[in-house]
Copies of this chain bind each other. A is one copy, B any other.
């Protein structure tokens, strides 16, 4: 069952990271005691999903403190290194701030205190997922078909997930009967991860390519769309995986309610609007990979933003671990 799907496991001495690049074909764990391995796992998308990145980064700092010849200075540069991995998600920076404060406070057994803090962050994220699942339940009717985007389940968090966690919980309570998962090009988190997680949970799942969402919603086949978030500005503008904006705008026109599910730590109160959210652009190879032969034409350009920003007007509600926030918004 889905409760067993985990992105990250601390086994007492080392961190185990499920290598999501190899799913759904193979279930392989990266085992490490090194901060740099964690940083690279984040950069290469072996671990991804804003909350899971935060949890991994917490362990990354803890591992840095346990490395040979660790000093406050090396731990601080580990924090800088981890902060450089992915620019868009906010949980990462939130967790690194928490860890930095532990370092700044100083005192005895810093490695021990950092590790306990990392474990606590992990557990708190799992609890936060359960809270979102419970708060989200009342948003559903009965036996709904829902659309989701990217992967926002156990693989993306330290618990059962954000949007997919809410959906799985609603499925167990008869509120959801099936999921449509968008492929989520170019990395395919929907096709590779969400579909796999739904199978593990026994939740009926239909895979579609991203460009089918309009026809799907226009046809009345889904009653609701739920997505996660990487960062939410004070006014509600939400950055999430590239393509989220497309689903939101199409849902809006088709009058399909569109929910953002995220822990409260995803809100960046320093940003007035989505305009300030930095958008990571990734390697064109991610896009080109499925089209053999294009490498012969170096004049072909690729635009590969990893995220987009959905203006708040397209969002029906925010399902957070502190409750459901509806318009009018008072962030």
Contact = CB atoms under 8 A, between A and B. Distances in A.
Interface string A163-201: 000000000000000001011111010011001100100
Contacts of A186: 209
Given A188-B290, A293-B25, A300 B207 contact: yes
Interface string A252-264: 1100000000000
Interface stretch (A100-108, A211-219, A228-236): A211-219
Centre residue among A182, A214, A243, A252 by max chain B CB count within 10 A: A214
A207 B302 contact: yes
B207 A210 contact: no
Contacts of A184: 211
Interface string A286-321: 011011111011011111110011000000000000
A14 B256 CA distance: 53
A157 B210 CA distance: 27
Given A207-B287, A207-B288, A288-B207, A303 B188 contact: no
A287 B182 CA distance: 11
Contact of A210 (B209, B249, B305): B209
Given A211-B210, A302-B208, A290 B250 contact: no
A205 interface: yes
A245 B250 CA distance: 10
Interface residues on A, range: 35 or more
A253 B242 contact: no
B303 A206 contact: yes
Contacts of A252: 253
Contacts of A204: 299, 301
Contact of A207 (B242, B301, B308, B309): B301
Contacts of A112: none
A253 B247 CA distance: 13
Interface in A7-59: 23-26
Given A212-B305, A291-B188, A308-B215, A296 B24 contact: yes
Given A183-B291, A209-B243, 15 more contacts: A24-B291, A185-B210, A188-B290, A191-B291, A195-B297, A204-B301, A205-B299, A207-B301, A212-B243, A214-B245, A215-B246, A215-B308, A218-B245, A246-B246, A246-B250
Interface of A: 23-26, 180, 182-186, 188, 191-192, 195-196, 199, 204-216, 218, 242-243, 245-246, 249-250, 252-253, 287-288, 290-294, 296-297, 299-305, 308-309
